[in-house]
């Protein structure tokens, strides 16, 4: 009996000895202290061994390696860590929109400047003084095109109609220099522009091409700007107290439990991130529609609304318009005299010099090897191919963000055993189900308390911005400028653009691909017989007309 009692005492002592060693090991906080130093924390005091945790408000309140100061700083750091993670994950998205917006904007502006400069240089060389005396007609055209592109309140159709009216007035005056053409008379002429069609069908085709191309270019760049702003704003997360508590519990409570090296379980991380990013996920449906609309307009920029393709044949088109005016000058003058009356004679005779004395070079288009360097050192096609790939990659970005954050090299234990990760309470398996995306799906989120009745106002504003932009893009795809539809006093919906529906290729394709018949080129002297009126007027008119149209295209 004594031997049995002695064995019991020895056994009991051995068990207590092992328990004491285990207890001492669990209470040792040296690993936590080292981990805190590595992370840059400067705590006034880190316990050497575990202490009672009644003071803790987020982490488990059993024995702990954390003081209240430590838990408070862990909360602050959790907020910063989360903001940094979202910033890092969204960096590529944001930089894509920033850089591509800059590239497209520079490209379009430089294209406008190059076109205006080359046209001006060509017309000064070719037409000299007659052009320079009337160049403001074209300067105004380019100024208005640039003002439209940069966001000005310009109705493209009205502006282009006005341009052709001004050009008709100048040309009519030059062709009828033996008469006194007053301002009132010019006003009368403008009323007959549509009936007379002095430039043939060129203005109608060019108007269709120019309006669609400029609407697409401006709207696309505006779309990139909106995407840039939304991405930048939404990436600056606004954390709720509940989110910060959940982040602290997930990221730093393992420190308090003496397990700083243990990472969160993946599903645990997903629930925390889905709760903290619930409003961002709600952005996704509108974001995806916006991306799809951007891709559709990008297709237009590659095809019939390509502003480069619109600009390249502009010199030939202007030449065609001028030739139409010269060919029809007699009939135009006759019909104007019928409608507006015959103006008073100027008392001077026309110049008797032949046209060839003044106009010794003919208009001809650039050959491919002569064309100026493309704007911004690239082409529109290359820019569009690049941006399309980037846009496709950005779809579902906001709903995929939790998954992107909860990977091994960022937050979680990754492929480690389900038993070897932090589940919010201890090291072990995480059992709750992963919640779906979006605010309403967080009603039963076990990790983050989310008020699903109060959507984030800031995120709602970004959703509205995307919705408005998507509507503009859809209109631009059809060649319409929604700004002028919305501002129409009559509410008729008429505005800049062709008003075409799904397929807008008839006039565009014809205008882009057809090669007009030009009666002569600039390489040789003008045959005076080919012009109806032998005077200085036709060259001047031709110069003005060509210049006008070329600028209009730009």
- Of the candidates 520, 412, 448, 481, the one whose C-alpha atom is nearest the C-alpha of residue 126 is 520
Listing DSSP states for 193-216 in one string gives: HHHH-TTTTHHHHHHHHHHHHHHH
Report pLDDT for 328: 83
Mean pLDDT by 10 residues, the chain (554 residues): 44 39 58 91 88 92 92 94 94 96 94 83 74 85 92 92 86 85 90 84 90 95 97 91 95 93 92 95 96 97 89 70 80 90 76 34 44 62 95 95 87 70 92 94 94 91 97 94 52 40 37 30 32 38 43 41
Rg (CA), the chain: 37
Torsion of CA 488, 493, 498, 501, to 10 degrees: 160
Report the C-alpha gap between 27 and 407 in whole angstroms: 31
Among the listed residues 434, 381, 486, the one whose alpha carbon sits nearest the alpha carbon of residue 153: 486
CA quadruple 227, 232, 238, 243: dihedral positive or negative?
Answer: positive
Cα 33 off chain centre by: 49
Distance of CA 391 to the CA centre of its chain: 10
* Residue linked to tokens 């110069």: 543
Q: Which residues have a Cβ under 8 Å from the Cβ of 68 and sit 6 or more positions away?
A: 55, 56
Residue with tokens 């270019």: 217
The single residue listed with the structure tokens 């979680």 is 412
> What are the C-alpha distances in Å from 78 to residues 24, 246, 298?
30, 9, 41
Cα dihedral 245/251/257/259 (nearest 10): 180
The tokens for 269 are 């991380």
Q: How many residues does the chain have?
A: 554
Rounded Cα–Cα distance for residues 355 and 525 (Å): 9
Residues 6+ apart with CB under 8 A from 170: 134, 137, 540, 541, 544
Task: Please give the pLDDT value at position 376.
Answer: 55
Q: What is the DSSP letter of 316?
A: H
Q: Which of 110, 158, 109, 128 is nearest to 547 (CA)?
A: 128
Eight-state DSSP code of residue 27: T
What the block records as the tokens of 81 is: 């860590």
Euclidean distance between CA atoms 3 and 8, whole angstroms: 9
Ranges of each domain in the chain: 83-347+379-441
- DSSP, res 64: B
**The tokens of 368 are what?**
């491919």
Q: Which of 83, 16, 378, 88 is nearest to 236 (CA)?
A: 83
Taking Cα atoms as reference points, which of 475, 426, 391 lies closest to residue 268? 426
Contact 473, 391 (CB under 8 A): no
pTM of the entire structure?
A: 0.78
Q: What's the confidence (pLDDT) of residue 32?
A: 92
Give the number of C-alpha atoms closer than 13 A to the C-alpha of residue 70, restricted to the C-beta side: 27
CA–CA distance, 251 with 237 (Å, rounded to integer): 18
Question: Under a CB-based contact definition with an 8 Å cutoff, are residues 290 and 459 in contact?
Answer: no
Backbone angles phi, psi at 52, to 5 degrees: -60, 140
């Amino acid at each position: 009996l004594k031997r049995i009692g002695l064995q019991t005492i020895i056994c009991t002592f051995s068990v207590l000895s092992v328990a004491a060693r285990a207890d001492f090991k669990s209470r040792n906080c040296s690993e936590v202290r080292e981990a805190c130093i590595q992370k840059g924390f400067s705590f006034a005091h880190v316990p050497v061994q575990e202490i009672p945790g009644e003071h803790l408000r987020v982490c488990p309140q059993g024995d702990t390696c954390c003081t209240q100061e430590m838990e408070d700083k862990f909360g602050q750091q959790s907020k910063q860590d989360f903001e940094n993670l979202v910033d890092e994950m969204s960096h590529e998205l944001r930089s894509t929109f920033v850089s591509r917006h800059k590239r497209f904007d520079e490209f379009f502006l430089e294209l406008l400047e190059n076109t205006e400069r080359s046209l001006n240089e060509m017309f000064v060389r070719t037409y000299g003084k007659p052009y320079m005396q009337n160049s403001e007609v074209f300067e105004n055209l380019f100024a208005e095109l640039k003002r439209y592109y940069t966001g000005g309140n310009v109705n493209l159709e009205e502006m282009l109609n006005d341009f052709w009216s001004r050009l008709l007035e100048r040309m009519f005056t030059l062709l009828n220099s033996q008469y006194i053409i007053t301002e009132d008379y010019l006003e009368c002429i403008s009323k007959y522009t549509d009936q007379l069609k002095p430039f043939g069908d060129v203005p109608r085709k060019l108007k269709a091409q120019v309006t669609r191309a400029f609407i697409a270019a401006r709207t696309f760049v505006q779309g990139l700007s909106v995407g840039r702003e939304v991405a930048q704003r939404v990436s600056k997360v606004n954390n709720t107290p509940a989110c910060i508590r959940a982040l602290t519990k997930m990221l730093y409570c393992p420190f308090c439990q003496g397990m700083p090296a243990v990472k969160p379980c993946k599903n645990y991380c997903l629930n925390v991130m889905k709760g903290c990013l619930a409003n961002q996920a709600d952005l996704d449906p509108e974001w995806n529609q916006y991306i799809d609309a951007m891709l559709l307009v990008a297709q237009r920029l590659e095809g019939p609304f390509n502003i480069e393709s619109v600009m390249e044949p502009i010199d030939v088109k202007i030449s065609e318009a001028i030739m139409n005016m010269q060919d029809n000058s007699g009939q135009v003058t006759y019909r104007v005299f019928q409608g507006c009356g015959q103006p008073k004679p100027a008392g001077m005779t026309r110049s008797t010099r032949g046209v060839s004395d003044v106009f010794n070079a003919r208009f001809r288009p650039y050959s491919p090897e002569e064309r100026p360097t493309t704007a911004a050192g690239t082409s529109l096609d290359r820019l569009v191919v690049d941006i399309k790939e980037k846009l496709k990659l950005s779809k579902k970005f906001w709903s995929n963000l939790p998954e992107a954050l909860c990977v091994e090299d960022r937050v979680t234990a990754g492929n480690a055993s389900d038993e070897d990760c932090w589940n919010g309470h201890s090291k072990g398996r995480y059992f709750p189900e992963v919640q779906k995306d979006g605010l309403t799906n967080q009603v039963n989120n076990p990790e983050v308390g989310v008020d699903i009745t109060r959507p984030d106002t800031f995120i709602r504003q970004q959703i509205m911005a995307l919705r408005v932009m998507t509507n503009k893009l859809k209109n631009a795809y059809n060649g319409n400028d929604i700004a002028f539809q919305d501002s129409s006093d009559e509410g008729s919906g008429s505005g800049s653009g062709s008003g075409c529906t799904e397929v807008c290729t008839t006039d565009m394709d014809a205008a882009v691909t057809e090669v007009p018949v030009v009666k002569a080129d600039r390489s040789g002297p003008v045959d005076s017989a080919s012009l109806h009126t032998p005077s200085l007027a036709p060259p001047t008119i031709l110069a003005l007309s060509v210049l006008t149209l070329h600028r209009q295209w730009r």
